[in-house]
Amino acid sequence: FRKDGFLVLEQFFSAEECDSMRSQIQKIVAEMEVPAHCRTEFSTREEEQLQAQGSSDYFLTSGDKIRFFFEKGVLDEKGNFLIPKEKSVSKIGHALHAYDPVFKQITHSPKVQELGRKLGLERPVVVQSMYIFKQPGIGGEVTPHQDATFLHTEPLGRILGFWIALEDATQENGCLWFIPGSHTNGITRRMVRAASGASTCVEFVGSEPAYDDKQFIPLPIRKGGLILIHGEVVHKSELNSSESSRHVFTFHVMEAKGTTWSKENWLQPTPELPFPSLYT
């Protein structure tokens, strides 16, 4: 992990644990009510991000709620679904770990806490969580990025992602790709809250360098596997053009000891939901 910036732990979670998360998310989607004006299409392309999430309070205030974001091309201009809603969701975020009993139990499970201790985390707190669907045929690409661009700390190196495959993640359905060792070069781009009165509520400072595609290696992983992701390692995933989905539950923790969470981050702890301790 220290050398590459990521670590693959196969069979970290059981098939039963994965299935419990999938059936829970089915219930959440079945009960999903999103007003048409709040339906935003999720994208990782910078100009589309600023247009969709950046102009949306729905995104900016989702840090302490369970909110829904949709794939590109599934909504008409009035925000109505063009395909069944359960096939249109891109991700659900950002506080499943706090408000849903199944995801809370997984996030704080004894084996996750033990892993945190093995990694030397002294005061880890959970900052956000997401369920990612990567829908068959339309699951959008995630462009090369570093998580610290969006979750900035002083000093850097205090953010860690836990990425749990709830189905087999293959090259065909959009597994993760990494540039090994790329977590040692700092970051050159940040997404920050825009000044009040700006046309978007977030903006990017700096720019993402052009990455050499040949440097990326694929990380297929079987159902139940866990990938640990250093906050500065460069990673991406391709469009899912296959006929199978690639469901994932992922959450980020921050080592809070001696760390400042940037006030400019889009995601902020709230009085209703301070960042909870990973250790219970």
Return the beta strands (E) in 140-234 as ranges.
Answer: 142-145, 153-154, 159-165, 176-178, 189-193, 202-206, 217-219, 226-230
Structure confidence by residue, pLDDT tens digits, 3-28? 999 999 999 999 999 999 999 999 99
Confidence (pLDDT) at 43: 66
pTM: 0.93
Confidence of residue 196 (pLDDT cuts 50, 70, 90): confident
**129 has pLDDT over 50:** yes
**217 has pLDDT over 90:** yes
Phi, psi of 42 (to 5 degrees): -85, 135
Q: What is the mean pLDDT of residues 140-147?
A: 94
**45 has pLDDT over 80:** no
Quickly list DSSP for 52-88: HTTT-HHHHT-TTSEEEEE-TTSB-TTS-BSS-HHHH
Q: What is the mean pLDDT of residues 227-248?
A: 97
The domains located in the chain, with CATH, are 6-261 (2.60.120.620)
- Distance between CA atoms of 186 and 161, rounded to whole angstroms? 17
- Distance between CA atoms of 32 and 53, rounded to whole angstroms? 19
**54 has pLDDT over 50:** no
